[in-house]
Chains A and B, each alone.
Chain A
Amino acid sequence: AQSVAQPEDQVNVAEGNPLTVKCTYSVSGNPYLFWYVQYPNRGLQFLLKYITGDNLVKGSYGFEAEFNKSQTSFHLKKPSALVSDSALYFCALGGGGADGLTFGKGTHLIIQP
């Protein structure tokens, strides 16, 4: 069975500092990896995905993610955090014969002014 782990329930970063939200995965076969963001009382919004090709994927709002096959990780990054980046972030995994996406439990990102 495939799985996604987000090891941190919450990440605190000062505004202007770089941020990283961690995600690791387990799957048989090729992984297809996604990041979504959820603002309070809203649905999820797609940020970026890795299907194949370059290990560094660029997405919306200045976010990027690095796919690392040897470490089975897909960490979300941003060079300079904004207070408006504060939200709940989900990593998701497709592939492995599953019909849809398997979501992690989410990480609360808090950017302090």
Chain B
Amino acid sequence: DVKVTQSSRYLVKRTGEKVFLECVQDMDHENMFWYRQDPGLGLRLIYFSYDVKMKEKGDIPEGYSVSREKKERFSLILESASTNQTSMYLCAATRGTPHYNEQFFGPGTRLTVL
């Protein structure tokens, strides 16, 4: 199975800070995703990437940016953290065509913005 790791399980930041969330996968999958998970809202797609240096906006990209300089690493950046970005962030990876291949998820980063 693909192993997807995220740099932090828990993170506490202050309003206005620049925040980096890192995700690494070990199986050479071309597609990577960032979601946020909030109670009662399920998972919402922030950004995804089909390949190195490629990125596409998901459903809720505002306030976020991403970087994919290497195939195995996909970073989510909060340019200026705000309290409404307090959430669980999940990274995922998949091979081939994204909409009919299962995604492999990391353990998540629970971010609190004070």
Closest to B107 in A: A43
Subset of 16 A-B contacts with CB under 8 Å: A34-B102, A41-B108, A41-B110, A43-B90, A43-B106, A90-B42, A94-B100, A95-B100, A100-B45, A100-B48, A100-B58, A100-B103, A101-B98, A103-B35, A103-B42, A103-B43
CA distance A51 to B107 in the complex (A): 26
CA distance A90 to B103 in the complex (A): 13
For A54, what are the chain B residues with a Cβ–Cβ distance below 8 Å?
A: none
Partner of B99, one of A44, A95, A103: A95
For A99, what are the chain B residues with a Cβ–Cβ distance below 8 Å?
A: 48, 56, 58, 98-99
Report how many residues on chain A are interfacial, defined by Cβ distance under 8 Å.
Answer: 23
The prevalent SS among residues of B at the interface is strand
Would you list the 5 A-B pairs with minimal beta carbon distance, nearest first?
A: A94-B99, A43-B105, A105-B42, A32-B100, A103-B43
Q: Is A104 within 8 A of B99, CB to CB? A: no
Question: Which residues on A are within 8 Å of B, measured CB to CB?
Answer: 9, 32, 34, 36, 41-46, 49, 51, 90, 94-95, 98-101, 103-106
The prevalent SS among residues of A at the interface is loop
Question: Which residues on B are within 8 Å of A, measured CB to CB?
Answer: 4, 9, 31, 33, 35, 40-45, 48, 56, 58, 90, 92, 98-100, 102-108, 110
**Known contacts A101-B98, A105-B41; can you find 9 more A-B pairs with CB under 8 A?**
A43-B107, A44-B92, A44-B103, A46-B102, A46-B103, A49-B102, A99-B56, A100-B103, A104-B42
CA distance A12 to B99 in the complex (A): 31
A61: min CB distance to chain B, Å: 15
Closest to B108 in A: A43
Q: Is A44 within 8 A of B105, CB to CB? A: yes
Closest to A103 in B: B43
Closest to B91 in A: A43
Q: Is A45 within 8 A of B105, CB to CB? A: yes
Q: Is B40 within 8 A of A105, CB to CB? A: yes
